Amino acid sequence: MLNENQVSQVAKAIDNAISSVDDSLSYKVLASAVAQILKDEYGSHNFGPFMEILKGELGIKEAQYGSGYGYTDDELRGTDFSDEFKEKFDVKAFVDDNKVEIIQRGDIDDDVFEEMIKFIEDKGYTVDRKQSEKTYDYDPGERDFYPRIKFSK
């Protein structure tokens, strides 16, 4: 079991150290610094256990988006038409019960996007066009916003 008092003390010390360097330190610098400490002070044999605890503390099942993007293969499968969708359109996609997120760094052609929507509608789903987006966008230093199609049964 973890000593919660020790966890609090370490967290406060890390926070103070970050503030002493830069009170608006980016998560990229923080992640790189943590990686350097793990490599230099803890050793590679601790990487796996460290990541398991970190993911558990953050409530993360897997890294966001695997197979080169962080989604695991199971997460990339999704609904009953997931494999068929990915094969038909030759894309990596995260498909769940109400959304297809196309994992590509670029916009989707209008005709292809309409074909994707028709494919989903032909499976018996209703597409919410107002919540669907064919463009890719990213917020530097934050996250990627992939093309997506929202739908319901």
* Average pLDDT per block of 10 residues along the chain, 153 residues long: 81 88 83 85 78 78 47 50 88 85 91 96 93 89 85 88
82 and 43 in a common domain: no
Do 116 and 78 share a structural domain? Answer: yes
Same domain? For 98 and 148 the reply is yes
Q: Are residues 53 and 111 in the same domain?
A: no
* Residue 104 maps to a domain: yes
Last residue of a domain, one of 13, 34, 58: 58
Whether residue 64 lies inside any domain: the answer is no
Report pLDDT for 82: 84
* pLDDT of res. 26: 83
Name the residue range of residue 13's domain: 4-58
Q: Is there a single domain that holds both residue 100 and residue 143?
A: yes
**53/107 same-domain check:** no
Query: 119: Cβ–Cβ under 8 A, 6 or more apart, which residues?
Result: 81, 85, 88, 89
Residues in the chain: 153
Residues 50, 14, single domain; the answer is: yes
Number of domains in the chain: 2
Per-residue confidence (pLDDT) for residue 51, from 0 to 100: 82
CA distances from 20 to 17, 25, 37, 42 (A): 5, 10, 18, 24
pTM of the model: 0.50
66 inside domain: no
| In a shared domain, residues 24 and 51 | yes
How far is it between the farthest Cα atoms of the chain?
58
> For residue 12, is it within any domain?
yes
Give dist(CA 129, CA 27) in Å, integer: 34
Closest CA to 151 of 126, 134, 132, 130: 126
pLDDT on residue 1: 58
